[in-house]
Structure 1
Amino acid sequence: MSKIKVMHCLGQLNTGGAETLMMNIFRHIERDKFQFDFLLFNDEKGFYDDEAKSLGANLHYTPSMGHTNIFKYVRSIIKILKDQDIDIVHSHMDWQGGFIVYAAYKAGIKKRIVHSHANQEMFKTSLLHKLLISINKYLIKRYATDCIACSQEAGESLFRQSFEVLINGIDIERFLNPNQEIIVQLKQELNIQDTDIILGNVGSLSENKNQRFLIEILSKLDKNYKLVLVGDGAMKDKLKQLSKGLNVNDRVIFAGVRKEVPEIMQLFNIFLFPSKKEGLGIVAIEAQVSGVSCIVSESIPKQIDVGEGLIKRKPLIFNEWVDSITNINKNKTNINKQKIIDSHFSIKKSCEKLIRIYIR
């Protein structure tokens, strides 16, 4: 039997929530039955490029909408999809999914999926973007055969029709059984002492992820508190300048993009997630499975709570976060492992649900 060919459309194979979800599924799906390829809108090398190729994916590139006009953008997608004889197109481009499923329809592809990974309000930065989002909502309603969202909020913000929630599952076993040798190496590399209280954040260094808020909070905490920022992004230099200006640069650790997230989570006493907008927030799920107490902003969807009493939701009010950090449990919690393994937070459950969507 020939494989079902799926073309995943993404900006780049970096370490965002959508990309991490798809790579988790790619690792666990039956690759003798499904062929995953990727249509990417940035030809710079991404974090997961080499792994995707090693798992059998073909990577195709075309200019993003910001580097060409809409008509060339759509025509290029149509041509690539026709040339590759695809069975399913699965867009992870949020509101731009409207253009992609329209192109897939024109290419004769019968299964056309739009996946909302974010609260679309975060993209409404100008009148032009509001107009484009409105146009794409219409195209999605007309040309998408299936609509998926990582949370109820993410779905409601994009779709004018019914949709299914597919929680961003994680490889639970990796977080329940981290590599102890790597943990020791990371402590040495990042100069973490046993007396330190480690505040952690994982995500792109960006205005929306709001790491500025965390650095300002750190400046009001005792000197045994350190902040580890895992990730990279446009705000990195500004965040470094801020930490110097507040005289906490010796307590802010810029750890960069990492593969060893399960081990890094074991370094954290508290996971902090002050994002202004999130579609779901897969890293908060990873932190809870690692037994780490979490303080998250009220914009984080409630679906991230794994039910172990580790989540505190707070408005982005400075003093409330300082008080919560001071008083929250800073020790690892022994979670109900079997309950988590059997839950919809497991990548195996995500795989099963996505396969059902693909083949129905």
Structure 2
Amino acid sequence: MKHPEGPPGDPSALLIDPSVVGQSHILVNTGVVRLALARYSRISVIAEVSHCEALKEYLGPEACERITFVPWHRRSDIRKTVRDFISGKKFDQILFTNMEYDMFVYMCLFHQGASRKPIRWVLHSHLVEAAATDRRVRIKNVIKWYFFFRAFRGARFIVLGDRIRANVEELIGPLFRRGNIGAVIHPVGVAPLPQRGAGSPLRSNRLPQVIFMAGWHALSPKNRALLDALEGIHQEDRRFEVEVVSNRIDGVNDNKAFSMEYTDRLNRIAAADFFLHLPSDPYRLQASGAVMDMLLTGTPMIGLRTDFGEELAGIIGPFGYFFDTRDELLRFLSSASPNPTEVESFRANLASGYDKIVARSQAQFDELLAS
């Protein structure tokens, strides 16, 4: 399988996603592609066929003119596709937009030389159980850390935020290499909706509309109980109108994907006054695509405080109401009346925040790959 050969010295990059299908991870993967397009003349992308189609849809024809898409059709195809594509070729940079453990070991053993720079691996939720207390999980984590941060000296990792990097480094401890972990704030590769930051003003003749949409991970029992408590508030006592929208995961294995199109998800969020953010874990070790969706819709958030959300607020300014516990969040939703002026400031921060995040992620990406 051949890909377009540029002139001698023409910088090239190969991006590989070994696992996701359809529109899953579409925001971060389009973001990484756009970061690479700003740095390299030629881009090739290896991904599952339905994910290639999703990337084409959300990147648009102008960007796709500079990209060679190489689809794999079954999970068992991915290793052969990668091997055939890089055979006899040398890229300036190979970057995996997701981590799959056997693929990681395979590349480190056999294909390190396919990239002039060390291969980079983006870590998403791969370390969320790093602080687990269960003995079996702890043993598994130590083995995982050994392969990631000790066995392969040339491996390099990207996490989506400086706070996440600090948290990862703290957890893995001094026995493992921490200098091979770099941070890039969660990239954004999808264009914002035209009405971003200009949502309908809060009106006194109706309750503020709050939308909740579950993410890829299953809803935790504590979050389920919180939604039940909100539903149990008497109509005359409600301060917010909470709508729970189903975005179930359909299919199994390679065909698993959300039932709702990403564009439809964004449009539903944009029509609400607030988005209810209920992470299923403390999010100390991963970013949140749901939080980044608010940059595209201009919709303020109400939810639980996370390290990633705090880092984002430090860059763009406050963009919602956040609480440390579910009890505090429930009390707010049961009794508070949001200030319209404050809400408009949240929307303004989100509207201007899109360009800030795009610029910041590009600067961090360029600095990381130049090092």
Q: Same fold (TM over 0.5)?
A: yes
Classify 1:35/1:333 alpha carbon distance in 2 versus 1 (closer, same or farther; 3 Å). Answer: same
Check the 8 A contact 1:101/1:143 in 2, yes or no: no
Structure-2 residue corresponding to 1:89: 94
**Equivalent in 240, 243, 262 of residue 258 of structure 1:** 262
How far apart, CA to CA, are the structure 2 residues paired with 1:62 and 1:148? 27
How far apart, CA to CA, are the structure 1 residues paired with 2:339 and 2:126? 31
Structure-1 residue corresponding to 2:115: 109
Check the 8 A contact 1:287/1:294 in 2, yes or no: no
Q: How does 1:210-289 map to 2 (within 5 A)?
A: 212-213=224-225, 215-223=227-235, 225-229=241-245, 231-233=247-249, 256-259=260-263, 263-277=267-281, 278=283, 279-287=286-294
**How far is the alpha carbon of 1:201 from its aligned partner?**
3.5
Q: Identify the structure with bigger relative contact order (alpha carbons < 8 Å, sequence gap 6+).
A: 2
Structure-1 residue corresponding to 2:178: 161
How far apart, CA to CA, are the structure 2 residues paired with 1:202 and 1:133? 32
Identity percentage over the alignment?
Answer: 6
**How far is the alpha carbon of 1:90 from its aligned partner?**
1.0
How far apart, CA to CA, are the structure 2 residues paired with 1:104 and 1:213? 49
Classify 1:165/1:340 alpha carbon distance in 2 versus 1 (closer, same or farther; 3 Å). Answer: farther
Q: Secondary structure at the match of 2:287?
A: coil
Q: Deviations over 1:76-118 (max 9, x none)?
A: 6444433564331112324737426515744432321122223
Q: Deviations over 1:245-266 (max 9, x none)?
A: xxxxxxxxx9823215554333
How far apart, CA to CA, are the structure 1 residues paired with 2:21 and 2:320? 30
Check the 8 A contact 1:74/1:103 in 2, yes or no: no
Structure-2 residue corresponding to 1:206: 217
Q: How does 1:266-345 map to 2 (within 5 A)?
A: 266-277=270-281, 278=283, 279-287=286-294, 290-298=298-306, 302-305=310-313, 306-308=316-318, 310-315=320-325, 317=326, 319-326=327-334, 327=336, 329=338, 331=340, 332-335=343-346, 337=348, 341=352, 345=356
How far apart, CA to CA, are the structure 1 residues paired with 2:23 and 2:54? 8
**How far is the alpha carbon of 1:301 from its aligned partner?**
5.2
Classify 1:12/1:139 alpha carbon distance in 2 versus 1 (closer, same or farther; 3 Å). Answer: farther
How far apart, CA to CA, are the structure 2 residues paired with 1:153 and 1:109? 29
**How far is the alpha carbon of 1:206 from its aligned partner?**
2.7
How far apart, CA to CA, are the structure 1 residues paired with 2:151 and 2:116? 14
**How far is the alpha carbon of 1:195 from its aligned partner?**
3.9
Classify 1:217/1:9 alpha carbon distance in 2 versus 1 (closer, same or farther; 3 Å). Answer: farther
Check the 8 A contact 2:302/2:322 in 1, yes or no: yes
Check the 8 A contact 1:7/1:89 in 2, yes or no: yes
How far apart, CA to CA, are the structure 2 residues paired with 1:149 and 1:292? 25
Check the 8 A contact 2:90/2:114 in 1, yes or no: no
**How far is the alpha carbon of 1:147 from its aligned partner?**
3.0
Q: Unaligned 5+ residue runs, structure 1? A: 185-193, 236-253
**How far is the alpha carbon of 1:166 from its aligned partner?**
0.9
Paired residue type of 1:147: F
How far apart, CA to CA, are the structure 2 residues paired with 1:255 and 1:62? 20
Q: Is 1:142 the counterpart of 2:153 in the alignment?
A: yes
**Equivalent in 20, 24, 31 of residue 24 of structure 1:** 31
Q: How does 1:71-82 map to 2 (within 5 A)?
A: 77-82=82-87
Paired residue type of 1:227: E
Paired residue type of 1:117: H
Classify 1:293/1:301 alpha carbon distance in 2 versus 1 (closer, same or farther; 3 Å). Answer: closer
Q: Secondary structure at the match of 1:334?
A: helix
How far apart, CA to CA, are the structure 2 residues paired with 1:340 and 1:272? 19
Q: Deviations over 1:322-341 (max 9, x none)?
A: 21223262754234858974
Q: Secondary structure at the match of 1:57?
A: strand
Q: Unaligned 5+ residue runs, structure 2? A: 1-6, 252-257
Classify 1:132/1:302 alpha carbon distance in 2 versus 1 (closer, same or farther; 3 Å). Answer: same
How far apart, CA to CA, are the structure 1 residues paired with 2:230 and 2:189? 31
Paired residue type of 2:160: C
How far apart, CA to CA, are the structure 2 residues paired with 1:75 and 1:63? 11
Structure-1 residue corresponding to 2:54: 48
Paired residue type of 1:102: C
How far apart, CA to CA, are the structure 2 residues paired with 1:339 and 1:44? 30
Structure-1 residue corresponding to 2:105: 99
**How far is the alpha carbon of 1:150 from its aligned partner?**
0.6
Classify 1:93/1:258 alpha carbon distance in 2 versus 1 (closer, same or farther; 3 Å). Answer: closer
How far apart, CA to CA, are the structure 2 residues paired with 1:213 and 1:16? 27
**Equivalent in 180, 189, 192 of residue 174 of structure 1:** 192
Aligned residues: 320
TM-score computed with the length of structure 2 as normaliser: 0.66
How far apart, CA to CA, are the structure 1 residues paired with 2:105 and 2:45? 17
How far apart, CA to CA, are the structure 2 residues paired with 1:204 and 1:47? 21
